[in-house]
């Protein structure tokens, strides 16, 4: 029987990746542990200098109620930039690593002489407060609006329970803290010993969430995106 790894992202695993894993005699089982839905929001003002995009979902759920071409745009990483370019938008800033800490620090370094800028920050209900806190500490004004949230699909919860009950799969790719929290929630309900699992993390923020649950990450991607997470898994199965 071929070894199987659990793929937990909202979007389907690309077929080319599935084929690469299959050549290494590993199957990918897809159970999306989150789904993203919009939330109602209002914007009282449209007078700002920058718009910060911290995920491709932000690009997806930010509607066309105002003209984004009038503002400078900051993107957290490659996937977000790709989504912005598809909307015909120019990206003025992207950090070297796709994490909030790096985004805020590098943007501040480039804008040391420009105080009191106003930044519009659309994001998730579960977004960390790293960016608004850092920017406001340096005398910038941040307008933060939650425009989407992630939920745990009931069908996926049932499918994950079945995986734990069958006790055949022991590898999982985790690409966000939200995904981890849903995975861990069901694992605790089913009294699963996660020390028997190999947990592959996309990056330090997700790893921190895993470790906060007193569990251990087996491998973390060297660059914090799915392409490098796939590579990390591939190294282990070669």
Per cent of the chain over pLDDT 70 is 99
Model confidence at 195, pLDDT cuts 50, 70, 90, reads very high
Q: Which domains does the chain have, with CATH numbers?
A: 3-34+152-237 (3.40.50.10090), 37-149 (3.40.50.10090)
- Which pLDDT does position 64 carry in this prediction? 81
Span of 2-6, 62-66, 166-170 with lowest mean pLDDT: 62-66
For the chain, give the mean pLDDT: 94
Average pLDDT over residues 123-127: 93
Q: How confident is the model at residue 114 (pLDDT cuts 50, 70, 90)?
A: confident
Asked if 218 contacts 200 with a C-beta cutoff of 8 angstroms, the reply is: yes
Mean pLDDT of 147-159: 96
Average pLDDT over residues 189-193: 97
- CA proximity to 33, closest of 13, 62, 8: 8
Q: From edge to edge, which strands make up the β-sheet containing 72-75? A: 35-38, 141-151, 118-124, 50-53, 72-75
Q: What stretch of H or E contains 44?
A: none
Per-residue pLDDT tens for 12-41? Answer: 999 999 999 999 999 999 999 999 999 999
Compute CA 91 distance to the chain's CA centroid, rounded to the nearest angstrom. Answer: 19
Residue 237 has pLDDT above 90, yes or no: no
pLDDT at site 113: 84
Percent of the chain with pLDDT over 90: 88
pLDDT bin (cut points 50, 70, 90) of residue 65 is confident
pLDDT at 46 over 80: no
Query: CA 106, CA 188: separation in Å to the nearest integer?
Result: 39
Which pLDDT value is given to residue 43? 87
Q: Exposed (0-12), middle (13-18) or buried (19+): which is 16, by Cβ within 10 Å? A: exposed
What pLDDT is recorded for position 1? Answer: 61
CA dihedral for 28, 8, 201, 74, sign (positive or negative) = positive
**For 52, phi and psi rounded to 5 degrees?**
-100, 125
Average pLDDT over residues 79-99: 95
């Amino acid at each position: 029987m071929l070894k199987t790894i659990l793929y937990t992202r909202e979007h389907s695993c690309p077929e080319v990746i599935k084929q690469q894993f299959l050549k290494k005699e590993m199957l990918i089982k897809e159970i999306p542990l989150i789904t993203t839905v919009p939330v109602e929001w209002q914007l009282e003002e449209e007078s700002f200098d920058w718009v910060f995009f911290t995920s491709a979902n932000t690009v997806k759920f930010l509607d066309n109620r105002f003209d984004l071409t009038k503002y400078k745009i900051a993107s957290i990483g490659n996937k977000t930039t790709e989504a912005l370019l598809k909307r015909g938008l120019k990206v003025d800033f992207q950090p070297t690593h796709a994490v909030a800490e790096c985004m805020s620090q590098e943007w501040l370094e480039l804008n040391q002489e420009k105080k009191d800028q106003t930044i519009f920050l659309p994001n998730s209900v579960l977004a960390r407060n790293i960016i608004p806190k850092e920017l406001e500490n340096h005398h910038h004004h941040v307008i933060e609006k939650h425009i989407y949230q992630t939920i745990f699909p009931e069908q996926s919860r049932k499918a994950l329970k079945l995986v734990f009950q069958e006790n055949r799969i022991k590898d999982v790719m985790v690409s966000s803290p939200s995904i981890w929290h849903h995975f861990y929630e069901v694992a605790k309900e089913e009294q699963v010993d996660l020390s028997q699992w190999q947990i592959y993390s996309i990056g330090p923020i997700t790893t921190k969430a895993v470790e906060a649950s007193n569990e251990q990450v087996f491998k973390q991607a060297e660059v914090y995106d799915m392409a490098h997470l796939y590579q990390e898994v591939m190294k282990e199965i070669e």
